[in-house]
Chains A and B, each alone.
Chain A
């Protein structure tokens, strides 16, 4: 885990579902083919309502925003792991939300795609898309640069060992549940 993470925020509301994160029609693309998988970056968050603005600019393959700030129940809906993968491919390092749907959270942690961080506060009402934010993981705070205000993040909890290992497979190798090398 990097200790500090700085980037521009993209702000969404409550209940952003996986169909908005990556619409089902794009799930046909390979996640392993190096060229084909770029489509997931291109279409990440393309299902959002138009009034939230574009997460990835027309003709681009990645987003300028690397931190998503959301309300409650981020990632609800389908179990598609393509959702956290699409955000990672688009360049997202962390999501900061009030809560997550459990399969999205699991997928983000076990696949090591991004950091699903939690906050008790409705930061999506205090931060605007395009604002620079810094996340200090050791201190457990997010700093909103335009206002200079810092907000506490909840401890990662139960799954911290998996997050620190970088995903389920690395964690299971540490525990000796699976062999060191394939």
Chain B
């Protein structure tokens, strides 16, 4: 019997010829990623369990990316950045994207692929639930807590239960104004926030192949919002080019066997999909935008690992060009490389940055910012009874900083259209075949810097 992509990767990591769903295996971890919120407590557990002078199993395989609470005066957050620096110093970590240094990058899940840390066929463990984003490049990538991370720091190993694979087959192509975010919101709406619990969520089909790398990352990013252990997409020609530009070895790239066993399969015709909006307070509350057009809003937010990539801003810019926002609108590029690219990439002769600024959008510094609320002084944090539409991943009660606020989740196109309309709006009337082609063109033409040498 054949194996799925995730099963193949875990079998290799466990040193076995085959594994089956439900097997409990010890795997060798290829990359461990941590950030400023979970790095310090994980390191404290590491030192408690392995001793003060203990060394990491392999410092070159640990990637430290502070991103959560950076642009804040909160003294505890500042202290945690210092703790992270101490860890990097004591363990002589070569891959440390320190805050307020020239190497600072921003959101970890966008940094990892950008800087060439995501290797297809590898096992990537991170202290963040959205670590599943990196599955877009054919890695088995999943989030863990501090104890598991501390264990990996000392041993390079982790026990995992081999997940069943839940297959999502995408056919056709998205229409102008419709994005990967709409696909994943619809899927979560259909299967629920625990619809893929413990599963590997694998996306296949020509519909996936039609999506850019940024868009594939959006799909895998929200796998955890359906309860999945990982999201994963097999490497194709486009992914291979992206990886090779960054000097990444693709020799372990795999795909599911034709006779692999799936727990379930769901199919979507992309051309039939309309923009989706997840109503408060669950990502599973997805409805077609046409069901909630005109509903009131106060705030719009474009950012995070889900919706703060270059293509997300280009899509917003296509809609915001020569228009003004009526809502309090915040834009937070995920990384410094995305921030630089929006100053450079043009839509019809104007840079994305210029378009955002002329529209009246407030531009923040690359970081997680208000996606998860954060300290009081966080850029874009919701206060009081605001009603926001956001490109982020979670609209749980209180998620963006205020328990009285309401959050709708949507694609960057829908958020931009809503910011212009002043209420929930369908982005499709704002775009046509020609203008939407600019999104793909701009993203294709803008190979991000940082290529070649993982930092």
Other-chain residue from B51, B144, B401 in contact with A106 (beta carbon distance below 8 A) = B144
B390 within 8 A of A: no
Chain A residues touching B, range: 35 or more
Contact of B372 among A20, A24, A73 (CB under 8 A): A24
- CB-defined contacts of B116 to chain A, threshold 8 Å: none
Additional 18 contacts, C-beta under 8 A, given A76-B193, A78-B129, A110-B148 = A17-B396, A19-B394, A24-B372, A24-B374, A25-B375, A27-B68, A29-B76, A31-B44, A36-B76, A79-B38, A79-B128, A80-B37, A81-B145, A101-B194, A102-B198, A103-B224, A110-B151, A182-B51
Contacts of B48 in A (CB 8 A): 182
* B91-124 with Cβ < 8 A to chain A: none
Docked CA distance A103–B193 (Å): 14
Given B79, B146, B197, B398, which contacts A101 in the complex, CB threshold below 8 Å? B197
> Which residue of chain A has the shortest Cβ distance to B401 in the bound complex?
A25
B147 close to A168 (CB less than 8 A): yes
Q: How many interface residues does B have (CB within 8 Å)?
A: 55
CB contacts (< 8 Å) of B399 on chain A: these are 19, 24
Evaluate contact between B375 and A28: CB separation under 8 angstroms.
yes
Nearest to B128 among chain A residues (CB) is A79
Answer whether residue B41 sits at the interface, using C-beta atoms and an 8 A cutoff: yes
The CA of A32 and the CA of B41, in the complex, are separated in Å by 8
- B454, CB-defined interface residue at 8 Å: no
The answer for the CA separation of A15 and B226 in the assembled complex, in Å, is: 11
Q: Which residues of B (42-70) have their CB < 8 Å from a CB of A?
A: 44, 48-51, 54, 68-69
Q: Given A19-B399, A158-B161 in contact, is the A28-B77 Cβ separation under 8 Å?
A: yes
Tally of A-B Cβ pairs under 8 angstroms: 138
Chain B residues near A15 (CB-CB < 8 A): 193-194, 282
Contact partner of A103 among B40, B145, B151, B157, CB < 8 A?
B145
Which residue of B is nearest A32, CB measured?
B44
Shortest CB distance B112–A (Å) = 15
Q: Which residues of B come within 8 Å of A, CB atoms?
A: 24, 26, 37-38, 40-41, 44, 48-51, 54, 68-69, 74, 76-77, 79-80, 127-129, 131, 143-148, 151, 154-155, 157, 159, 161, 193-194, 197-198, 224, 227, 229, 282, 372-376, 394, 396-399, 401, 403
Tell me which residues across on chain B come within 8 A of A25, comparing CB atoms. 373-376, 401
Please give, as numbers and ranges, the residues of chain A lying within 8 Å of B54 by CB-CB distance: 182
A99–B193 alpha-carbon span in the complex (Å): 12
Which residues from chain A contact B154 at a C-beta distance below 8 Å? 178
The residues in A between 1 and 51 inclusive whose CB is less than 8 angstroms from any CB of B are: 15, 17, 19-20, 23-25, 27-32, 36, 47-50
B194 contact from A28, A76, A80, Cβ within 8 A: A76
Query: Is A77 interfacial (CB 8 A cutoff)?
Result: yes
- Separation of A32 and B26 alpha carbons in the complex (Å): 28
Known: A24-B372, A76-B227. A158 touches B24 (CB 8 A): yes
Say whether, besides A28-B69, A177-B155, A182-B48, A79 and B127 are in contact (CB < 8 Å): yes
Residue in chain B with minimal CB distance to A15: B193
Could you mark each residue 168-182 of chain A with 1 if its beta carbon is under 8 Å from any beta carbon of chain B, else 0?
Answer: 110010000110001
A152 at the interface (CB under 8 A from B): no
A62, CB-defined interface residue at 8 Å: no
| B residues near A76, Cβ cutoff 8 Å | 193-194, 227
Q: Which residues does chain B contribute within 8 Å of A27, judged by CB atoms?
A: 37, 68
For A32, the chain B residues whose CB sits under 8 A away are 41, 44
A79 touches B145 (CB 8 A): yes
